[in-house]
Amino acid sequence: MALTSCDVDLDAFNELLTPRGQRALAEAGELTGADPVAAATRMRRTYDAALTSAALTQAGLRVRARAKFGADAGEMYFTPHGLEQSTRAEVAGHRARRVVAAHHLGPRVMDACCGVGGDLIALARAGCAVSAVDVDPLTVAVARANAHALGPAGRVTVSVADAATVRPEDHDVLFADPARRTGRGRTFDPMAYSPPWPVVLDLVSRAAKACLKVAPGIPYEFIPGDAEAEWVSYKGEVKEATLWTGHGDGGGRRATLLPGGHSLAATGVQATAGPVGRYVYEPDGAAVRAHLVGEVAEMVNGRLLDPMIAYITADDPVDTPWAARYEIADVLPFSLKKLRATLRERKIGNVTIKKRGSAVDIERLRTDLRLNGDMSAVIILTRIMDKPSVLICDVPPPA
Ligand SMILES: C[S@@+](CC[C@H](N)C(=O)[O-])C[C@H]1O[C@@H](n2cnc3c(N)ncnc32)[C@H](O)[C@@H]1O
């Protein structure tokens, strides 16, 4: 019987790996972008319906996967869910380098729920010997094909198993990236992860070292006391948190920016609130999630606009990858009428609207402002000392 995961089928997937399947996949690759019906009709002249569908689906997934895996995507295999859940190559690479840096020799890593192998490939390429399992047979077949296509030969094994049965004791590092999707979509509740959170914690407790990928919004109370928590953003978007145990910085918090590789650890410095200066700084989301706003404020000699909100204000222009900087042209108490009048007066017709600590609906506001003019501005809706306020800022020059 064929096992399915979404619209990829295990038997058809295995056929894709045969010489005939590879020819079908190459032809499907040449047809990407063509009308789907015409592409299927053309493929059906040579191949049966199952192989045609598998090859066209795979070719389409490879195109989608370029955003995460770059040129490697052209040699990799995916399922729709597997691609969606996989770790972007730059993020997996950063994590893999950290895993390896803690060892003299390439460590033996157990990847307890490997998916299609985004992390697995990065770990193997960084020099780890990886034993990987996944509970889903099709996903294992895909991960194996990816390890074969890209992984250094002989450094990876992939088997079908439940994470609850693996033995972290037999490895130097446990890696786990539990599924965060349920039948009802993405979950933010670690108790709904698969493998379940208690299983993951049991594995972590038995591992000499562990590295756990979790959602960036993980509630702080779920972070084990002996773990360092690292929030990672890629091009300004927070992608994930990683919990590290046995790596020497238990209880610490850290933020990392990719692709630049900047990393900032908590020092405990607190920012205080103070008067509005010439600039407003918007800290990167990874620093905000890691509660490192005080550290960023210190970097720019700044203070908070409001004690509860992660906007920093300062008098000097300090260049830092940790925050976007905007020069403040005007500060107003929030009022639609007043804001509209000020923007009209300044002939501002294009606005980028940002907000923190404001319940205003941005799209509704944009409509209500009825903008008109050639000038541009960045508008920041926030609270200043608890008062709803708006900052009108100059658009920063391109970086
Ligand atoms: C988020 S994905 C892993 C993605 C992977 N790190 C990557 O970059 O491609 C999570 C995987 O956990 C698997 N999984 C869920 N429950 C499991 C269990 N109890 N044991 C092993 N694997 C499991 C799912 O099949 C899924 O492929």
Distance 115 CA to ligand 1 centre (A): 5
Q: Output the residue whose Cα is nearest ligand 1's atom 26.
A: 115
Distances (CA, A) of 366 to 154, 162, 371: 57, 50, 8
The average pLDDT across 301-326 equals: 97
| Mean pLDDT (the chain, rounded) | 94
pLDDT confidence of residue 183: 66
Distances (CA, A) of 282 to 143, 377, 381: 39, 15, 12
Summarize pLDDT for 19-70 with one digit per residue, the tens.
Answer: 999 999 999 999 998 999 999 999 999 999 999 999 999 999 999 999 999 9
- Residue 306 pLDDT exceeds 70: yes
8 band by pLDDT with thresholds 50, 70 and 90 = confident
Summarize pLDDT for 104-147 with one digit per residue, the tens.
Answer: 788 999 999 999 999 999 999 999 999 999 999 999 999 999 99
CA 48, CA 377: separation in Å to the nearest integer? 57
Contact 143, 68 (CB under 8 A): no
Distance 164 CA to ligand 1 centre (A): 12
Which atom, in ligand 1's list, is nearest to the CA of 143? 9
CA triplet 196, 191, 233: central angle to 5 degrees?
95
Which of 194, 203, 232, 239 should be mutated for ligand 1, with most atoms under 8 A from CB?
194
The average pLDDT across 83-95 equals: 97
Place of tokens 């084990």: 224
Distance 178 CA to ligand 1 centre (A): 5
- Residue 1 pLDDT exceeds 50: no
> What are the strands of the beta sheet with 156-160, ordered from one edge?
156-160, 129-134, 108-111, 173-176, 209-214, 237-245, 228-234, 253-258, 262-265
Q: Does the reported pTM lie above 0.95?
A: no
Distance 8 CA to ligand 1 centre (A): 17
Which atom, in ligand 1's list, is nearest to the CA of 194? 16
CA 120, CA 142: separation in Å to the nearest integer? 12
Give strand pairing partners of 304: 273, 312
Distances (CA, A) of 112 to 205, 245, 293, 317: 14, 16, 34, 46
Which of 5, 95, 113, 119 should be mutated for ligand 1, with most atoms under 8 A from CB?
113
Q: Output the residue whose Cα is nearest ligand 1's atom 10.
A: 179
Which of 4, 91, 135, 202 should be mutated for ligand 1, with most atoms under 8 A from CB?
135
pLDDT confidence of residue 20: 97
Residue 307 makes CB contacts below 8 A (sequence gap 6+) with 272, 273
Distance 177 CA to ligand 1 centre (A): 6
Q: Output the residue whose Cα is nearest ligand 1's atom 12.
A: 113
Which atom, in ligand 1's list, is nearest to the CA of 116? 9
The average pLDDT across 224-241 equals: 95
- Spell out which residues line ligand 1, taking CB within 6 angstroms: 85-87, 113-119, 133-136, 139, 162-163, 177-179, 194-195
Lowest mean pLDDT among 3-12, 255-264, 287-296, 300-309: 3-12
Task: Please give the backbone phi and psi of residue 129, each rounded to the nearest 5 degrees, phi first.
Answer: -95, 115
Q: Output the residue whose Cα is nearest ligand 1's atom 27.
A: 115
Residue 168 makes CB contacts below 8 A (sequence gap 6+) with 110, 112, 174, 203, 204, 206, 207, 208, 210
Per DSSP, the chain holds a count of helices (H) and strands (E) of: 13, 20
Q: Would you state the structure tokens that stand for residue 267, as one six-digit string?
A: 């020092």
- Residue 3 pLDDT exceeds 70: no
CA triplet 353, 359, 362: central angle to 5 degrees?
30
184 band by pLDDT with thresholds 50, 70 and 90 = low
Contact 65, 83 (CB under 8 A): yes
Which atom, in ligand 1's list, is nearest to the CA of 163? 20
pLDDT confidence of residue 151: 76
- Residue 154 pLDDT exceeds 80: yes
The average pLDDT across 180-197 equals: 81
Which percentage of the chain shows pLDDT scores above 70? 97
Place of tokens 């509660």: 291
Distance 61 CA to ligand 1 centre (A): 19
- Residue 4 pLDDT exceeds 50: no
- Residue 6 pLDDT exceeds 50: no
